[in-house]
Chain A
Amino acid sequence: MGFLFIPLYSAKETELKDGMSDVKMKGTKMKKNVLNATAVRYALESMMNYELTGNAFMDFLYIFYPLTRFLQFEVKMKKSEAQMKTQGLSPSFVVASCTIDGRETVYSDFSGKKIRQTVLKDFPERKKDFKTWYPGNSKPYQHKDLYDRIIAIGKIGQRNINGVKHPLGYCAEQNVANRLLLDKDMLIDNIQFSDAIRPRTGEVIDYCNHCKTLFGSL
């Protein structure tokens, strides 16, 4: 039993030391991504020193339970590695909300666990009304009023209109407003928008001039 697990364990421990340790900063501290390496070590040591008794319950407790802990540990490692895969995300996301008959609906143009948690921290009671999409999945501008307003500014996808470098019709605000207007019967000017946030870094980005002219609430 022992010969099977010693090399496997030593390889994993070095990965843990390299990858999951704290980031040192002046003045501020990163939150620790705690993986209890010592607990796994004790579990494996006790497992290696244990001799099978034939009692199914005791064998499960001393051998298979630590083994399940070890496998969970591996899964957590893979999840932390997945955190870096942020490529292809949009540079900003926006939450739009409307109130109809006293019930508030919140839509976002971006889907992601961290975003969802951050938004729902401010709107905990609105979990059912909170809808998200991945960027790029938005429908074309099927809402007539919004389409007319965009066309009045310029062609969809046109750049450098009134000094705005961003292509017209590709903003997060315009995508999420289109979704909201298609689902709910409401006026464009009644939509309330959140700050525009960059998903990778959480920083607040200014609205562009197109969105300010399109939506009265900005």
Chain B
Amino acid sequence: MARSKEFLRCRDIDWAVKIGANYIHVASAGGDLPKIVEDKLFDIWRELKNTEYVDSVVILNDSYLNEKFANLNELDYEERDFRVNWYTLSFAEMAKRGFYSFDRDIRTPVDDSKYRLVAKPEKMKVTPNYSFPEINLQWTPEELDDQNIVALIDEAVERMQRE
């Protein structure tokens, strides 16, 4: 079901897909959704609620976080710690559930956004088995950092339908 732009711009939507063998979670932050995700949004939300912890340790994307919080260096340690922890909390939570967790870079325009990898699982004790839409992309999740994931997924789905 297609959603209005007003709906998408006013919401910070969690969505997830399976790319190759890896699961990817994205926080939309007012950005667009891929068409395949819009069609199955309720199924994706239902499946996200059923996810379970598979890992206790996550790896954070330090280069992005250092770049994002560079202007906070003047603040005292506690304040900076509080801001960084609040930012990473939601993404670390998803990484513990076996997702490569991405956020929309809010400095980029909403209709042509870049998505940044924030957290990923270190080594999963149990391989998760979730039923999210599967997409054939040649990119690994690390390579998707700083790319327009929505456009890439839309292109890949169109290519699959043509074939």
- List chain A positions with a Cβ less than 8 A from chain B: 15, 17-19, 21-26, 28-31, 83-91, 135-136, 157, 159, 165-167, 170, 198-203, 205
Contact = CB atoms under 8 A, between A and B. Distances in A.
A101 B15 CA distance: 47
Contacts of A167: 5-6, 9-10
B93 interface: yes
6 interchain residue pairs of minimum CB distance: A202-B86, A21-B56, A19-B53, A87-B14, A91-B30, A18-B53
Interface of B: 5-6, 9-14, 27, 29-30, 45, 48-49, 53-58, 60, 62, 68, 80-81, 83-90, 92-94, 96-97, 103, 106, 109-111, 125
5 contacts: A18-B54, A25-B88, A28-B84, A28-B85, A202-B83
Instruction: Determine chain A's interface SS by DSSP, over half rule.
Output: loop
Given A91-B10, A198-B12, A84 B58 contact: no
A87 B13 contact: yes
Contact of A25 (B10, B48, B60, B103): B60
A118 to B, nearest CB: 9
A201 B86 contact: yes
A137 to B, nearest CB: 12
A84 B94 contact: yes
A108 to B, nearest CB: 16
B90 A135 contact: no
A23 B45 contact: no
Nearest to B6: A167
Contacts of B106: 91, 198, 203, 205
A25, A170, A202: most-surrounded residue (chain B CB, <10 A): A25
A198 B29 contact: yes
Given A21-B57, A84-B93, 18 more contacts: A18-B55, A23-B58, A84-B97, A87-B48, A90-B11, A91-B9, A91-B29, A166-B9, A166-B30, A167-B10, A198-B12, A200-B29, A200-B90, A201-B86, A202-B87, A203-B83, A203-B87, A205-B106
Contacts of B109: 165
